Amino acid sequence: MSDSNATDFNNPSTFILLGIPGLEATHVWISIPFCTMYTIAILGNFTILFIVKRELSLHGPMYYFLCMLAVTDLVLSTSILPKTLSIFWFNSREIDFRACLTQMYFIHCFSAMESGIFVAMALDRYVAICHPLRHSTILTNRLVAKMGLAVVLRDGLLALPFPFLARRWPYCTTNFIPQSYCEHIAVVKLACADIRISSYYSHFVVFSVIGLDVSFIAMSYTQILRAIFSLPRKDARLKTFGTCGSHLCAVLAFYFPGLFSFLTHQFGHNVPPHFHVLIANM
Ligand SMILES: *[C@@H]1O[C@H](CO)[C@@H](O)[C@H](O)[C@H]1NC(C)=O
């Protein structure tokens, strides 16, 4: 009935990414830290891959997982940053609907994979510290490959419904996404339909993936810390902690901004929108 003047928006062929709404004037300045971090991430992660490939002494479970993490990081940041930077630099805000759905799939699939790899690494550290003598018989190359495959399958499948759900909905009011990349909830919020299934599904994924992974990592670290504190000598404690300290830092740096972003989305209704977007980008 009242659809007549809205039809030209129905199933739009492109979306418009607004970048960081409210901070358009400073896009060029914001691009400097983003571009710097992206360059460092690309160089750093390729360096990891290169070094692990060359050094035979690094051909072990911990470094294989590190390589998986580096590949995931490379894919994840490359599916977000080039488009974000081109919005900042060239104001190229348009994105094809299918490109948007593809980007959505990559973002959700690879951020969940990152989480899965952190679990695999925590398991490796748990066995290495709590059952050091059995480490090489438990974490064989076969098991490492199987764990990698399990992560890829779990998250490849879990992320699949996101673009399909987003494609189902009619978009008839606006096609402006107040974000710098196509993320599931940001896109389906624009739909003029009851998007409850979409929002249930993303909550389900957040709680099942992040919830399970975090509890698993927490369990591993409880055991690890217990083992470390039962060591009699301080230098032995420090040395053992040194083999998992960087993993723990990476885990905290990965989950905390995500948790923060999730909480401000749920409860922070008077937080300015550009703050959400900046945190999400970080
Ligand atoms: C690998 O990439 C991620 C971002 O995707 C970054 O946070 C991390 O620091 C990078 N690693 C190195 C060693 O540069």
**Cβ density class 80-94: b for 16+ within 10 Å, e for less:** bbebbbebbeeeebe
Q: Which residue has the higher pLDDT, 108 or 271?
A: 108
pLDDT tens digits, 180-194: 999 998 899 899 889
| Residue 238 forms part of a structural domain | yes
CA–CA separation, 246 and 244 (whole Å): 6
Among protein residues, the one whose CA lies closest to atom 10 of ligand 1: 41
Q: Which residue has the higher pLDDT, 2 or 187?
A: 187
- Predicted pLDDT of residue 119: 97
The pLDDT of residue 258 is: 79
pLDDT at 128 > cutoff 60: yes
Q: What is the pLDDT of residue 219?
A: 97
Computed from CA positions of residues 69, 70, 74, 77, in that sequence, does the dihedral angle turn out positive or negative? positive
Asked if residue 123 has pLDDT above 80, the reply is yes
Residue 110 scores a pLDDT above 60: yes
| pLDDT recorded at residue 10 | 59
pLDDT at 2 over 60: no
Please report, as a single letter, which amino acid is at residue 126. Answer: Y
Report which ligand 1 atom has the smallest distance to the Cα of 38.
4
Please write the tens of the pLDDT for every residue from 29-70: 999 999 999 999 999 999 999 999 999 999 999 999 999 999
Range in 100-104, 239-243, 274-278 with the lowest mean pLDDT: 274-278
Is 230 part of any domain?
Answer: yes
What is the structure's pLDDT at 264? 78
Q: Is residue 71 within 6 Å of ligand 1 at its C-beta?
A: no
Q: Which pTM was predicted?
A: 0.90
In a domain, 241, yes or no: yes
The overall average pLDDT reported for the chain is 90
Does residue 113 form part of some domain? yes
Residue to mutate (ligand 1; options 45, 69, 80; most atoms within 8 A of CB): 45
Percent residues over pLDDT 90 in the chain = 70
Q: What is the CATH number of the domain that holds 24?
A: 1.20.1070.10
> Could you tell me the distance, in angstroms and rounded to a whole number, from the CA of residue 7 to the centre of ligand 1?
44
- CA distance linking residue 252 with residue 194, whole number of Å: 35
Query: Above 60 in pLDDT, residue 1?
Result: no
- Total count of domains within the chain: 1
Question: 172, 9 in Cβ contact below 8 A?
Answer: yes
> Within a domain: residue 217?
yes
Amino acid type, 225: L
Among 9-13, 169-173, 252-256, the range of highest mean pLDDT: 252-256
Position with higher pLDDT, 67 vs 24: 67
Is residue 8 one of the residues assigned to a domain?
A: no
> Each residue of 210-237: pLDDT tens digit?
999 999 999 999 999 999 999 889 898 9
Is residue 167 exposed (0-12), middle (13-18) or buried (19+ Cβ within 10 Å)?
middle
- Looking at residue 3, its pLDDT comes to 45
Residue 1 lies in a domain: no
Atom of ligand 1 nearest to the CA of 44: 14
Task: Give domain status of residue 169, yes or no.
Answer: yes
Burial degree of 113 (CB within 10 A; 0-12, 13-18, 19+)? buried
Parent domain of 192: 14-281
Q: What is the mean pLDDT of residues 100-125?
A: 96
